[in-house]
Chains A and B, each alone.
Chain A
Amino acid sequence: NAGVTQTPKFRILKIGQSMTLQCTQDMNHNYMYWYRQDPGMGLKLIYYSVGAGITDKGEVPNGYNVSRSTTEDFPLRLELAAPSQTSVYFCASSYSPSGGVYEQFFGPGTRLTVL
């Protein structure tokens, strides 16, 4: 199993550009998440999904969009990139049956700089 994979690993964007961060998991997990991590700060939840076709906003969703058409994929779209979106982005997944709590597995991250 590859686990959670993310592409690209690094990206530099100009202000106003758009891009999609890709995330794929092969563990058949129902829950998937997108976080951003700024230096010296905790992880902040951007969006999450409890299953294919269902997405919901997290703590910091502005400027981002997601979709979940399959169990495996959960892409994050940045529209009109701004310097405030410079961060490390982590995708994570977990298996969360009703009544159970399981750990989240993280991808290697995408380091995004907006200039």
Chain B
Amino acid sequence: GQNIDQPTEMTATEGAIVQINCTYQTSGFNGLFWYQQHAGEAPTFLSYNVLDGLEEKGRFSSFLSRSKGYSYLLLKELQMKDSASYLCAVLDSNYQLIWGAGTKLIIKP
């Protein structure tokens, strides 16, 4: 079966750095997405990785290792507005997105 695993919840301090991990087992791989979802709102796109390595976009970076079935999202200089759920999703061989349950990130002052 297809499976995506993320930690359920993480806590970090304002101004710090946090890494959210995602491991996956899917039928085929056509890329991995990270989305941010604030409580009660729709998911919004953060990043897309299809090749191994690190993609940096401002305070957010995303890393992919296809051989290990592993990705992480790195958030630097955390701000209170970063409190949200972070969803990992893999595009499978049928080009359908398989979603993890999301990691709820709590930022404390």
Cα A75 to Cα B88 in complex, Å, equals: 26
Among B6-22, those with CB < 8 Å from A are: 8
From B4, B42, B48, A101 is in contact (CB under 8 Å) with B48
Q: Is there a chain A Cβ closer than 8 Å to B26's Cβ? A: no
B4 near A42 (CB under 8 angstroms)? Answer: yes
Closest-by-CB residue of A relative to B30 is A101
- Bitwise interface map of B from 69 to 109 toward A, beta carbon under 8 Å scored 1, else 0: 00000000000000000010101000111111110000000
Q: Which residues of the other chain, B, contact A45 by a CB distance below 8 angstroms?
A: 96-97
Closest-by-CB residue of B relative to A40 is B101
- Bitwise interface map of A from 17 to 44 toward B, beta carbon under 8 Å scored 1, else 0: 0000000000000000000000011111
- The size class of the interface chain B forms with chain A is 20 to 34
B45 near A58 (CB under 8 angstroms)? Answer: no
B101 near A109 (CB under 8 angstroms)? Answer: no
B31 near A106 (CB under 8 angstroms)? Answer: no
Q: A58-B96, A101-B30, A104-B97 are in contact. Are A42 and B42 (CB under 8 A)?
A: no
Q: Is there a chain B Cβ closer than 8 Å to A90's Cβ? A: yes
Q: Is there a chain A Cβ closer than 8 Å to B27's Cβ? A: no
A40, A43, A48 — most chain B CB neighbours (10 Å) = A43
From A48, A96, A103, A107, B42 is in contact (CB under 8 Å) with A107
Which residues on A are within 8 Å of B, measured CB to CB?
40-45, 48, 58, 90, 96, 101, 103-109
Q: Can you identify 6 A-B contacts, CB atoms within 8 angstroms?
A: A42-B87, A43-B87, A90-B43, A101-B48, A101-B91, A101-B95
